[in-house]
Amino acid sequence: MIVWRYFLLLVGLFFNALGVSLVTKAALGTSPLAAIPYSLSLVVSQLSLGEWTIIFSLFLIVGQILFEIDQLKWSEIMVEILLSFIFGDLIDWTMSWLRHVIMQNYWQSLLLLLFGCLVISLGAYFEVIADVAMLPGDAFVRAISRYFNIEYGKIRVMSDISMSVIGAIICLTFLSNLSGVREGTLISALVVGNLVKLLLKVAKPLTAELLK
C-alpha cells in the first residue's frame, strides 16, 4: 500500500530529525550529515539548524541533478524538495522540545549521544523499508555512486568523512574551535550504519507483512 509506505517515510523522517536533535544536544558534535548545517548555524546564528539543513539539502539536490542529468526523474526531485522542508522543520520542532535539556557531565552526554544514534537508526530503517523516496543527503550519495559506478557504501563513508571535515574547517575558521564536529560525530558515523544493518537483518522480516 503506497499510503502506508509514505506514512512509514514520515515516521522515519520524524525519528531521523529527533535523533539529529538528540545527538546535537549531547554537545559532543553532531552527526556527519548535519555537520555542515550545524557548523553554519553556529557561525550564522540568525538561521536555525533546521533552516540551514533545508538550504544544505537544496544544495545537495542541485549536485544530484548535475550527476544525474541524463537519467533524472523530476518527480523524485520534487519529492526531495518537499522532504527537505519537512525534515528541516522537524529538526527545529524537535530541537525546541529539547531546549531545556542540558547535560551535567560527559557520561550523560555520551548516553544521550548513543540514544540519539539509536533513534537516527530507527528513522533510517523506516525510510529504507518505506522505499518510496530518499532524503537529499542519501540521494546525492546514490547519484555519485551511479555516476562513478562505485559501491554505495564506499561513497557513503567518503561523503560522511568529507562533510565532517568541511564542518570542522568551518568551525576552526570562524569559531577557532571544533564545537560542531567532535568525537560524537565519529561515534555517530560508526554506530548508526551498523545499527541500521542490524535492524534490517532482524526487524525487516517482521515488518515485511505490513508492506504487502
pTM of this structure: 0.87
* Per-residue model confidence (pLDDT) at position 124: 85
Average pLDDT over residues 128-152: 85
| 101 confidence band (pLDDT: 50, 70, 90) | confident
Please give the residue range of the domain that contains residue 32. Answer: 2-211
* Per-residue model confidence (pLDDT) at position 104: 85
Number of domains in the chain: 1
Q: Is residue 134 pLDDT above 70, yes or no?
A: yes
| 90 confidence band (pLDDT: 50, 70, 90) | very high
Average pLDDT over residues 75-97: 94
Among residues 140, 158, 138, which one has the least CA distance to residue 64?
Answer: 140
Residues making up the chain, counted from first to last:
212
H helices of 131-182, in order, are 136-148, 152-174
Average pLDDT over residues 97-116: 91
Give the phi and the psi of residue 170 in degrees, each rounded to 5.
-60, -45
Placement of cell 523499508 in the chain: 129
Give the whole-angstrom CA distance, residue 20 versus residue 145. Answer: 25
Tell me the angle at which helices 74-97 and 136-148 cross, rounded to the nearest 10 degrees: 140
Give the whole-angstrom CA distance, residue 206 versus residue 13. Answer: 21
Q: What is the dihedral of CA 8, 6, 81, 193, to 10 degrees?
A: 30
